[in-house]
Homo-oligomer: A and B are copies of this chain.
Amino acid sequence: MPEPLSLIDQAERQCLARGVRFTPIRRRVLEMIATSHGALKAYDLLDQLAKEHGAARPPTIYRALDFLLEQGLVHRIESLNAYLACHCPEHQHGFQLLICRGCGRVEEMHDDDLGTRLVASADRHGFSIERQTIELEGRCQDCTSQAAAMAENAQ
């Protein structure tokens, strides 16, 4: 799976272009989030990082996360207090997160039409929207079919 590597390279290029510093700690934290299959929590990241870097403390992780969030390289999942690498940070985007209850997988969805509608709908209520948090919890295809198979066997 070459994707995590290219994601880091992309992040590096992006930071260079913006004149911000992609330091070893920031790089390493992004790598950890990117190579994990689901979302990661701050203190899990801390535990991992501390193994390689004894000086790591909560501020170490939260500063790295703040940086990565600001640069759009990582998204925060509010309903899980967890963090997910963005796989298309190069364009600004509104996004929706699909969270599986079964396996913990989190997928990033981009339905721009949806975002537009939300903004329009809020506008009718007098609100001008600057940030959207959209998190949809349910079951992914695998977990849905697995549940169906279990039900069948139980008969």
Which residues of chain A have a CB within 8 Å of any CB of chain B?
78-79, 96, 98, 100-101, 107, 109, 111, 113-114, 117-118, 121-122, 125-141, 144
Contact = CB atoms under 8 A, between A and B. Distances in A.
Given A121-B109, A133-B78, A133-B133, A139 B127 contact: yes
B114 A121 contact: yes
A125 B107 CA distance: 9
Nearest to A132: B136
B130 A118 contact: no
Given A96-B118, A114-B121, A121-B96, A136 B144 contact: no
Integer count of this chain's copies in the complex:
2
Contact of A122 (B78, B109, B131): B109
B130 A138 contact: yes
Given A78-B135, A133-B79, A140 B127 contact: yes
Given A79-B133, A114-B114, 7 more contacts: A111-B121, A114-B118, A117-B117, A126-B140, A127-B140, A130-B138, A132-B135
B133 A138 contact: no
A109 B117 CA distance: 13
Contacts of A131: 136-138
A106 to B, nearest CB: 10
Given A126-B141, A141-B127, A118 B133 contact: no
Contacts of A117: 111, 113-114, 117
Nearest to A147: B128
